[in-house]
Amino acid sequence: MTIWYGGDYNPEQWPREVWDEDVTLMQRGGITLATVGVFSWARLEPRPGEYDFAWLDDVLDTLHDGGIRVDLATATASPPPWLAKRHPETLPVTEQGVRLAVGSRQQYCPSSPVYRERARQLVTRLVERYAQHPALELWHVNNEYGCHVSHCYCEVSAAAFRTWLEAKYGSIDGLNRAWGTAFWSQRYDGFDEVEPPRAAPSFRNPTQLLDFDRFSSDELLACYRSEVEVIRAASEMPVTTNFMGFFKPVDYWKWAREVDLVSDDTYPDPADPISVPYAAMVRDLMRSLGDGAPWILMEQSPGAVNWRPQNAAKAPGQMRAWSYQAVGRGADGILFFQWRQSAAGSEKFHSGMVPHGGTDTRVWREIEQLGGELQRLSGPEVGLEGSRVPTQVAIALDWDSWWAVEQPASPTSVSYLETLFAWHHALTSLGLTVDFVRADADLSGYRLVVAPTHFVATDAQLENLAAFAEAGGTLVVGFGTGITDEHLHVRLGGYLGEPLRRTLGVWIEEFAPPAAPDLRAVGGGAAPPVALDGDVLGGAASGAVWAEYVRVEDAATEATFAEGALAGWPAVTRRGAAGGGGAAWYVATLPEAEALGRLVTRIVDEAGIELPSSVAHGGRVEVVRRGGLVFAINHGADEVELVVEGTDLLTGSGAAGLVLPSQGVAVVRPE
- Enumerate the active-site residues: 144, 299
Is 385 a binding residue for ligand GLA by CB under 6 A? The answer is: no
Q: Is 335 in the site for ligand GLA (CB under 6 A)?
A: no
Q: Which residues of 375-384 are buried (b: 16+ CB within 10 A; e: fewer)?
A: eebbeeebeb
- Please say which residue, 106 or 112, places its beta carbon nearer to ligand GLA: 106
Q: Is 142 in the site for ligand GLA (CB under 6 A)?
A: no
22 belongs to the binding site for ligand GLA (CB under 6 A): no
Residue 347 CB, nearest approach to ligand GLA (Å): 6
Q: How many CA atoms does the CB half-sphere of 238 hold within 13 Å?
A: 13
Buried b / exposed e across 460-491, counting CB within 10 Å, b at 16+? Answer: ebbbbbbebbbeebbbbbbbbbbbbbbebeeb
Cα-Cα-Cα-Cα dihedral sign, residues 94, 97, 98, 102: positive
- List binders of ligand GLA among 517-536 (CB under 6 A): none
Q: Which stretch binds ligand GLA (CB under 6 A): 164-172, 223-231, 298-306, 459-467?
A: 298-306
Nearer to ligand GLA, 267 or 446 (CB): 267
* Residues 98-137, mask of contacts with ligand GLA (x by CB under 6 A): ----------------------------------------
Smallest distance, ligand GLA to C-beta of residue 337, A: 4
Q: Does 350 bind ligand GLA (CB under 6 A)?
A: yes
Per CB under 6 A, which region of 40-48, 297-305, 313-321, 587-595 contacts ligand GLA? Answer: 297-305
In whole angstroms, the minimum distance from the beta carbon of 247 to ligand GLA comes to 11
Q: How far is the CB of 39 from ligand GLA (least distance, A)?
A: 7
The reply on whether position 299 binds ligand GLA by CB under 6 A is yes
Neighbours of 54 (CB within 10 A): 8
Which one of 299-307, 453-461, 467-475, 588-596 is the stretch in contact with ligand GLA (CB under 6 A)? 299-307
In angstroms, the CA 71 to CA 86 distance is 31
At 474, which helix (H) or strand (E)?
strand 474-478
What is the CB neighbour count within 10 angstroms for residue 360? 8
From the list 45, 71, 144, 227, which residue makes contact with ligand GLA (rule: CB under 6 A)?
144
Which of residues 90, 143, 207, 481 is near ligand GLA by CB under 6 A? 143
Peptide bond into 461 cis (omega under 30): no
Helix-strand-coil split of the chain, %, nearest 5: 35, 20, 45
Beta strand 69-73 pairing with 33-36: parallel
305 binds ligand GLA (CB under 6 A): yes
Bridge partner residues of 624 (DSSP): 631
Judged by CB under 6 A, does residue 424 bind ligand GLA? no
Distances, alpha carbon 49 to alpha carbons 44, 46, 53, 79, in Å: 10, 8, 12, 13
Q: Is 314 in the site for ligand GLA (CB under 6 A)?
A: no
Q: How far is the CB of 355 from ligand GLA (least distance, A)?
A: 15
Closer to ligand GLA at the Cβ: 340 or 350? 350
List 19, 252, 337, 631, residue binding ligand GLA (CB under 6 A): 337
Asked if 332 is part of the footprint of ligand GLA (rule: CB under 6 A), the reply reads no
Report the nearest approach of ligand GLA to the CB of residue 430 (Å): 32
264 binds ligand GLA (CB under 6 A): no
Q: DSSP labels for 565-597?
A: GGTTSEEEEEEE-TTSS-EEEEE-SEE-HHHHH
To the nearest whole angstrom, how small is the minimum distance from the Cβ of residue 144 to ligand GLA? 5
Q: Which of 265, 332, 470, 622 binds ligand GLA (CB under 6 A)?
A: 265
* Those residues with Cβ within 8 angstroms of residue 243's Cβ, 6 or more apart along the chain or in another chain: 250, 252, 255, 262, 263, 264, 265, 286, 289
Q: Where are the beta strands (DSSP E) in 192-293?
A: 239-240, 242-243, 263-265
Least distance CB 346 / ligand GLA (angstroms):
8
**Exposure class string for 210-233: b at 16+ Cβ within 10 A, else e:** bbbbbbbbbbbbebbebbbebbee
Comparison of 265 and 463: residue with beta carbon closer to ligand GLA: 265
Q: Residue from 247, 267, 421, 479 that binds ligand GLA (CB under 6 A)?
A: 267
Q: Where are the beta strands (DSSP E) in 499-652?
A: 506-511, 530-534, 539-544, 548-552, 556-561, 570-576, 583-587, 590-591, 621-626, 629-634, 640-641, 646-648
The verdict on 373 binding ligand GLA (CB under 6 A) reads no
Whichever of 74 and 301 has its CB closer to ligand GLA, that residue is 301
- Half-sphere exposure of 88 toward its Cβ, with a 13 Å CA cutoff? 4
> Least distance (Å) from ligand GLA to the CB of residue 424?
23
Q: Does 275 bind ligand GLA (CB under 6 A)?
A: no
Site size with ligand GLA, rule: CB under 6 A:
10
CB 105 within 8 A of CB 77: yes
User: Which residue ranges make up the site for ligand GLA (CB under 6 A)?
Assistant: 143-144, 265, 267, 299, 301, 305, 337, 347, 350
